[in-house]
Structure 1
Amino acid sequence: MKIIYFVITVVVVAGALALVGQKKGDIPKKLVKDYNYVIGTQTVGSKYQFTDESMLVETARQIKDMGSNLLKFSMHPRYCTENYGLPENKEITSLTKLAQLEPSVKEVLNMDFKYYHIWVYGFSQYLPEPPGQKNDTTQIKFIGGYSDYYANALYEELYELTTYMLKEFNNSGKVFYLGNWEGDWHLRWDYDRTKPADEETLAGISKWFKIRQKAIDDAKRDTKYENVEIYHYIEVNLVQRAIELGDKVLTNSVLKDVNPDYVSYSTYDVTNPPKTEIELNKKLKNALDYIQSYLPPKDGLPEGKRVWIGEYGNPFISHGEELQNERAKWVIKAGLEWEAPFILFWEMYNNEIKKETGEQVGYWMIDDEGKKQKIWYTHNQFYKESQRFLEGYYKEHNEVPSNSTFGKAALKFKALK
């Protein structure tokens, strides 16, 4: 019996020592690399660059070098014009071929990013614009209603893309969110926010979103894959008109009917007008609550909020470097308090130039002379502090923190002071 007791004691002690050893162990590098640090940025339509690489690849590398594991960019027939100025390839006639045949697009998809937010617009829906011009009616075919012809073509194109990406990135650990740019401007394609929404176009855009969600869902159902995820999101932007005036916008007219996986909110209508942090904090959280209230419950998604901040920012030309950075911190802190899954600054390089003067408007983290702005350093420091927090938390708990726990800790980071 003494021998049995001795064996049991040795096993128990060994087990306890093993647990202690686990708790004092270093966090695996993969957990640090793959953790969702919430804040990030994007790259579309930059007006300058500094290397011989394509603008898309250069800016993606800048985002990676800053410390981010998230890339937001566009897959669109405009890949060869204003979005990235890449060489036109006549063989690229679909989103899948864009992913396969365009070297820069292929390269960034294979970069070491964990999270991808991608605006996807079908080649099957697009008519070329006159050189040097941009007209959104060439890409949106749901004005006044959405025909089955275009709906079926879009379904096939997005189904094919989703299937390809699930197979191509199988077991990669990557997470793709496929969505659209500011959808309320598609609903009001003349950019007149004061006009009432056209009912037939409302029905058309709702059908457009449903087709996008269904194509992704069906491809996931029909494809064998593991350790890769693809979700669909809708981006909205004119939320305040619904809250304050009762106007029909995507949030109160489409979201409940479509019930997308996620919603991105381009937040300029609540983040640029406020003069104080208190006012901005209140307006932003109120808008996020309003959007979330129109999302019915949905199975098969990770726990947590389903609305994120897809765009925010203030132009350097009117705010300067200090205020641009300070106001960004206001948004980041409000988003973390609300537990938004992502908070994305617009953007790495500036994409707007004043027509009258040729000046850079300054939606940037790195300016047109290559100078890193304070907002760049805020993000860079935030990532460094995040990793130190993860390392300490893992040593104590032998697991990574929940998004909620991380967000509460991040609010105390020096980067946000």
Structure 2
Amino acid sequence: MFKKLFLIIIFSNLSIVGFSQTSGKDYTISKAPSLEDYNFVLGTQAIGGKYKFTNDSYIVEQAKQVRAMGSNLLKISLAAKYFKVYPDLEKDPSIQSSLDLLKIKKDYKTVIDMDFKYVFMWIHTLTKAKWNDGVTKQEEQLFYNEMYDLATYLLKKYNNSGKTFMLGNWEGDWLLHGLGNRNVIPSEVKVAGMTKWLQIRQKAVDDAKKKVKHKNVKLYHYVEVNLIKKGMKGEICITESILPKVDVDLVSYSSYEYLKNGDDLALITKDLGDAMDYIESKLQPKKGVDFKRRVFIGEYGFKAMDGLNLEKQAKNTKNLMIASLKLDIPFSLHWEMYNNEFLKDGRTKGMSLISQEGEKKPVYYLHSNYYKVMNSFLVDYKKENNKYPTQEIYKNKAIEVLTTLDYTYSN
């Protein structure tokens, strides 16, 4: 039914070229295609970004780009430094919680109200509470109230919307160790503090779901880890030392430490499979989580510095996408739509789907054409069978499609 899909990019007719960060010029984001109500598994994120091309805010423009690409999944940040993550959201001292941020900065509501089925949010805390040196009773209440109030709001506001909300943290092992300090041994006090913090957050979400009447809207809490190789050696990290004590819904793995074999599908599948199995082995049983597995890839991506190796980047990305589907994980999220990491000389790591020059890269078309083909498959399958396919049927079709999907330039 589906022919091999070839990506054709005519260089002379590119509609996106060379706009600066401050550009408000004639740049048009494609119209968002209609989408079936289904989990496509593969997605990206709209966190940070040091450039934009329209008069929309940073977060709204990126959300529109994600949706126009054909994705029904959005990942954003409600960080305490929201004004640095999204530079046009001015700092407001009246914001004292994640819910305050969501309500006061209307751009958040704008993107959440868009027709995304899955909305992931980085949630830490905008209160004055700290967990690094232990959690006092007062801090415990602040942590609990912040997460409970946000969860309650989302369940009520988006009742019967069909949305699924995923509330979690950014790379937790860096929070525990210090950014980049993988060889540090975290103190007992810090481990105990993070354990308490995560337990409180999970209880707040569980309590909100029990107390708030809701239907056709789902909400989960996840913990993101990023140094599981330490845990596999029996060393202190979140997965080894904290997860067994937290009744968490799901675990996100920021997977960069396992991406060196991205050019080999068999090896990357095995590597990530071992990682997922190890994380799952540390989880407590939990009812009410509607996914086949409770582990997913919260971040992955391959560098293409200075625009070089774009084909290799796309090939490795395709392998990771296929591996994710083979492993039955519910989500695998590419980093990311726009570059947010610039080096001192102005260069980037080149991990974005759309560059700072406005060019849609092969990895962009790899995603967009995947969504097009799989959405057509869902439309036809539902028309023929009066229901959507099982995840197993979808998975097998998606792997077949990706295996033959061409991402190369053609004149």
Q: Return 249-258 or 265-274, whichever deviates more.
A: 265-274
Q: How many residues align?
A: 372
- Counterpart in the other structure of 1:221: 210
- Counterpart in the other structure of 1:349: 338
**SS of match in other structure, 1:98:** helix
Alignment of 1:61-210 (within 5 A): 61-125=64-128, 141-210=130-199
**SS of match in other structure, 1:44:** coil
The equivalent position to 2:346 in structure 1, one of 358, 371, 374, is: 358
- The one-letter code of the counterpart of 2:230 is R
The answer to whether the aligner puts 1:314 opposite 2:302 as a matched pair is yes
**SS of match in other structure, 2:400:** coil
C-alpha contact 1:79 1:85 (8 A) present in aligned 2: no
C-alpha contact 2:263 2:319 (8 A) present in aligned 1: no
C-alpha contact 1:56 1:84 (8 A) present in aligned 2: no
TM-score, normalised to structure 2, is 0.86
* Cα shift at 1:382: 0.6
- Counterpart in the other structure of 1:241: 230
TM-score, normalised to structure 1, is 0.85
C-alpha contact 1:291 1:307 (8 A) present in aligned 2: yes
Deviations 1:107-152 (A, max 9, x none): 11111111011001221147xxxxxxxxxxxxxx222322222221
Flag structure 1 segments of 5+ consecutive residues without an equivalent.
Answer: 1-30, 127-140
Q: Return 73-82 or 153-162, whichever deviates more.
A: 73-82
Whole-Å Cα distance in 1 between the matches of residues 262 and 362 of structure 2?
Answer: 21
**SS of match in other structure, 1:34:** coil
- Counterpart in the other structure of 2:292: 304
- Counterpart in the other structure of 2:364: 376
C-alpha contact 1:267 1:311 (8 A) present in aligned 2: yes
Whole-Å Cα distance in 1 between the matches of residues 156 and 82 of structure 2?
Answer: 23
Whole-Å Cα distance in 1 between the matches of residues 120 and 327 of structure 2?
Answer: 20
Whole-Å Cα distance in 1 between the matches of residues 363 and 179 of structure 2?
Answer: 33
Flag structure 2 segments of 5+ consecutive residues without an equivalent.
Answer: 1-33, 407-411
- Counterpart in the other structure of 1:252: 240
- The one-letter code of the counterpart of 2:239 is T
- Counterpart in the other structure of 1:47: 50
**SS of match in other structure, 2:52:** coil
Whole-Å Cα distance in 2 between the matches of residues 77 and 297 of structure 1?
Answer: 32
Relative distance call for 1:251 and 1:258 in structure 2 (3 A) is: same
C-alpha contact 1:67 1:383 (8 A) present in aligned 2: yes
Q: Return 269-278 or 255-264, whichever deviates more.
A: 269-278
User: Identity rate of aligned residues, in percent?
Assistant: 41
* Cα shift at 1:274: 5.5
Deviations 1:300-338 (A, max 9, x none): 121411101110001220762111111111111111000
Higher relative helix content:
1
Alignment of 1:280-299 (within 5 A): 280-299=268-287
Q: Which has the higher contact order (CA 8 A, sep 6+)?
A: 2
C-alpha contact 1:32 1:390 (8 A) present in aligned 2: no
Whole-Å Cα distance in 2 between the matches of residues 125 and 240 of structure 1?
Answer: 32
- The one-letter code of the counterpart of 2:101 is L
C-alpha contact 2:296 2:332 (8 A) present in aligned 1: yes
The answer to whether the aligner puts 1:404 opposite 2:392 as a matched pair is yes
C-alpha contact 2:37 2:117 (8 A) present in aligned 1: yes
- Counterpart in the other structure of 1:262: 250
Relative distance call for 1:262 and 1:160 in structure 2 (3 A) is: same
* Cα shift at 1:190: 4.8
Relative distance call for 1:125 and 1:320 in structure 2 (3 A) is: farther
Q: Return 255-264 or 143-152, whichever deviates more.
A: 143-152
C-alpha contact 2:45 2:75 (8 A) present in aligned 1: yes
The equivalent position to 1:339 in structure 2, one of 328, 349, 356, is: 328
Whole-Å Cα distance in 1 between the matches of residues 263 and 64 of structure 2?
Answer: 34
- The one-letter code of the counterpart of 1:352 is E
Deviations 1:154-193 (A, max 9, x none): 1011111111111111111111000000001111025311
* Cα shift at 1:358: 1.6
* Cα shift at 1:50: 0.6
Relative distance call for 1:93 and 1:368 in structure 2 (3 A) is: same
The answer to whether the aligner puts 1:278 opposite 2:266 as a matched pair is yes
C-alpha contact 1:352 1:363 (8 A) present in aligned 2: no
**SS of match in other structure, 1:52:** coil
* Cα shift at 1:197: 2.6
* Cα shift at 1:84: 4.2
Whole-Å Cα distance in 2 between the matches of residues 35 and 95 of structure 1?
Answer: 28
Compare CA radii of gyration and give the structure with the larger one: 1
